[in-house]
Chains A and B, each alone.
Chain A
Amino acid sequence: MARALKYFFAEAAASLWRGRRAAVLAVLTIAGGLFVLGLFLALNTNLQRLVGRWSESAELSIYFKDDVTQDQLRTVDELVAQSGLAEHRDFVSKDQAAARFRQDFPDLAGSAARLETNPFPASVEVRLKPEVRTAGAAVDSLAATLAGLAGVADVRYDRRWLTRLNALVRFLRAIGIVIIGLLAVASALTVANVVRLAASAREDEIEIMELVGAPLEYVRGPFVVEGILQGGAGAVLAIVLLWGLFAAARFRYGQLAAETIGLGIITFLPLGLCLVIVAGGMLLGCVGGLIVARGVR
């Protein structure tokens, strides 16, 4: 077994060296395909983190009319408490809302202060239980009931746009899978063509191997290993390029991302996913090599 593997690798390496230009092309094609795959995975990882973080802070906000009565407030509070959906709820008075605005937007604080009346409504901010954050229907129903109560001016439910964002992420992922599938086929076919070139350069050798009764593994093995080496090299190159891109993006836009969307740091792919990409590259190369090897006998 070790002797056979040594032979496969020696022949594959010699063949790659002989056809190095075509091999470089195949490696670049695989790297391109896997780079796109890695990019999608990295974007997906970061988007998921963002959606997760936003989901954690998703709230149901109930805004009251200025003339809301204590009884109406109590009714709202009881309804929220009885729904069993709330983890925590806070009453924010009109004065507290105005103070929060001044703190969050100090540049606009002066303009707000010049108004004769306090324009900010009192509200109840409801933090939903983690287990109901994905159960949109129950929260939607509660929000609709609350909106119809006397004294309630408006009900805002963050979940709605988060659901839309999630749907968008899923849609992007589906498109990504289709693109990745096409790139995977293109990569495997490129490897197959490069290995086929190598096979035709070794036609005489293969003929002699067949005539002397070399085991089929010895005839086919080098082609499969050649594909695997090309696929692995392409995958490693793709990860190096991705890492470079992410390091540059983090350096250039990391601060901006933290300030605008609250994503503290753009993270690179976890090691496990990197290994999956390398394994995927080797698998693609292996498929390409097998396509040729199966035709050799």
Chain B
Amino acid sequence: MIEATNVSKAYTRGVYALRDLSLRIDKGDFVFLTGPSGAGKSTLLRLLLRRDVPSEGQLVVGGRNLANLSPRQVQSYRRSLGFVFQDFKLLPAKTVLENVSFVPRVLGMAASQQQRRTFQVLKWVGLQHRMTAYPLELSGGEQQRIAIARALVNDPTIILADEPTGNLDPDLSLEIMNLFREINARGTTVVVATHDRELIRRVGRRAVTLDHGNIVEVT
């Protein structure tokens, strides 16, 4: 599903965010990327989101070499992904319903399908009763659940999450991780970047530890 071969990412003046990284994540896997700040977790997620391309090496996802995609192919590729960020990236001027239905809407889905999918995922994250609320009226945990609903509404094959519990307390963090576990149980590949080792221990899945752009441990 995801295959990184000798991937390096260098920024200006020869500073490497990733160096000669090789990693394989199979379909249906749940993998944590962990390590201290600056280890390269977010850089790897940026590459997987195709917001950036490797300086060296090859990153292949679902048989597609991400470096060779045209702008249209990038958009098509991203439709197979769901993303969740630490800062939620919800649109404050839109209601919960509008935030989630925004995705199928801009993907050109029919109105009836948009509605059906939006209700399904909101129900699934347990926030169908907050559809008319605005993001700033919700708690951090609720906002992150809305972000997860938005990531799921397009029925992606891979979920990428960058520090999704970074702004949440431990109980809420575990609650969010349980959602990811449920998503994974349905066959979706989940890649979560976090520096929270305790959380990884409690969830108990494969963890790839990065440091200075290198893989230093796989557990």
Q: A residues touching B (Cβ–Cβ < 8 Å)?
A: 3-4, 7, 204-205, 207-216, 218-219, 297
Closest chain B residue to A213, Cβ basis? B78
Would A213 and B79 count as touching, CB distance under 8 A? yes
* Chain A binding surface SS class: helix
Q: Is the CB of A7 within 8 A of B110?
A: no
The number of residue pairs between A and B whose CB atoms lie closer than 8 Å in the complex comes to 52
**12 A-B residue pairings within 8 Å (CB atoms):** A3-B108, A204-B91, A205-B102, A212-B78, A213-B76, A213-B79, A213-B107, A214-B106, A214-B107, A215-B75, A215-B107, A218-B108
Near A by CB (< 8 A), chain B positions 104-120 give: 105-108, 110
Cα(A218)–Cα(B81), bound, Å: 18
Closest 5 CB pairs of A and B: A213-B78, A213-B79, A214-B106, A213-B75, A212-B103
Chain A residues with Cβ below 8 Å from B78 are 210-213
From B91, B110, B154, contact of A212 by CB (8 A): B154
B72, B75, B89, B102 — most chain A CB neighbours (10 Å):
B75
Q: Interface residue tally of chain B, by bracket?
A: 20 to 34
Known: A3-B108, A3-B110, A213-B79. A208 touches B72 (CB 8 A): no
- Please name the residue on chain A nearest to B153 by beta carbon: A212
Residues in chain B within 8 A of chain A (CB atoms): 49, 71-72, 74-81, 83, 89, 91, 102-103, 105-108, 110, 154
Q: Of all chain B residues, which has the CB nearest A18?
A: B93
Contact of A218 among B76, B80, B106 (CB under 8 A): B106
**In this complex, what residue of B is CB-closest to A212?**
B103
Name the residue on A nearest B79 (C-beta).
A213
Contacts of B75 in A (CB 8 A): 210, 213-216
A213 touches B81 (CB 8 A): yes
